[in-house]
Amino acid sequence: MPRKIEKRNRESQFKYLFCLIALINIQSCKTYKITSANQNTPIKDFDIELVGDAPEYAKIEYWAEHTDKENHYAILPKNYTDTLYNYDPKIDVFFVHPTIYLKGDRWNADINDKELNEKIGKSAIKYQASVFLGIANIYAPHYRQMHIHGYSDLKNGYKAYDIAYFDVKNAFLYYWKNHNNSKKFILAGHSQGTNHSERLLNEVILRNDTMKNQLLIIYLPGMPIKKIYDEFPPCNSSEELNCFVSWRTLAEGYYPSDWSINDSISCVNPISWATDSIISKKKNHLGILFKNHKLQYPKSIAAYNYNNVVWIKPIKIPFASFYRMKNYHTADYNLFWLNIRDNLRYRLQKNGYR
């Protein structure tokens, strides 16, 4: 991709600031107010001297999830039994977690911040990356993620974003050299992780024929992803591979005034896996993954594509008002967790991967 186009795409994504929740779960929408006087946001400009040490991916502690870790955050929901669980998958997933660094006075997270790293495991890995457990081996790096404030302060955000991407790229190259072993793999992310995954696709994977040929599918939810990849286009059916899927979840009737309506942005309905505007049937929704780590309330969501986002109709469940949001960004995986999992398995089986 030409660098001018790539920069313009990143600029549009950096202006895309969402309703924020510190942990990835389904709960009432708490916004994190960002002001220059807030002690939890960087006050000084980006300083490379304050970035901190780069992670050493040969050391297991710099991975949020990895096949060699003794304790795993990626676990299946408490009330879900998978009779098809594969204890020795022949494919991998490289997963890049979203922004969990919401409080701090530096533009990039400290890679050795144990409290933050535990939050990453107990949120993004447990509620998002777990969707691939028992289907693929999960490799999810810690990285010096950009502070959430970087999405609104672009002057400093770009610099912090580049540091974060540098780590993600290095983690992927380490995985590729030491763990891939010629296996097919999946690339997945969310929010900031989606930004880094898209850049990794453009700058590394699509420029390497072996990597490109071993890549099966990409999950890029939570950010506006344009249909610009001739070599890796949007998926147009529920059984297709060698393509990417992307969606952003909003309540029906809500569309932020500062979002542009752009037909070139890709969006799939993660219940029907169609790109049309037909409303999916509630009977096809398989349940919501809640904070108690249980799958609950199947057949509770109907969704459809509207102006490059997924609109969901009002969720009619007990205490629905407590969970109601306008922007379901943090729940892009939770709302459709089992639909995502079952569909991935279906895609793999239809294409001869078992």
Quick one: pLDDT at residue 51?
Answer: 93
Question: What's the pLDDT at 32?
Answer: 35
Model pLDDT for residues 81-139, shown as the tens digit of each residue:
999 999 999 999 999 999 999 999 999 999 999 999 999 999 999 999 999 999 999 99
Q: What is the pTM of this model?
A: 0.90
Q: Tokens 């942990």 map to which residue?
A: 23
Q: Cα 218 vs. chain centroid, distance in angstroms?
A: 10
pLDDT of residue 41: 85
Q: In the chain, which residue ranges form alpha helices assigned H by DSSP?
A: 3-14, 114-120, 126-127, 154-175, 192-203, 209-214, 320-323, 337-350
Q: Rounded to a whole number, what is the largest CA-CA distance in the chain? A: 56
The reported pLDDT for the residue numbered 33 is 40
Sheet holding 303-306, edge to edge: 249-251, 309-312, 303-306
Strand boundaries in 225-337, DSSP class E: 243-245, 249-251, 288-289, 295-296, 303-306, 309-312
pLDDT tens column, 158-187: 999 999 999 999 999 999 999 999 999 999
| pLDDT value, residue 230 | 84
- DSSP string over 31-86: -----TT-TTS--SPP-GGGS-PPP-TTSGGGEEE-TT-SS-S----TT---TT--
Sign of CA dihedral 104, 110, 115, 118: positive
- Residues in the chain, pLDDT under 50: 1-8, 12-38
For residue 53 the two structure tokens come to 């040490």
Side-chain-side CA neighbours of 19 within 13 Å: the count stands at 22
Phi then psi for residue 334, to 5 deg, are -55, -45
The pair of three-digit structure tokens given for residue 112, joined into one six-digit string: 């050795």
Q: Provide the pLDDT for residue 345.
A: 98
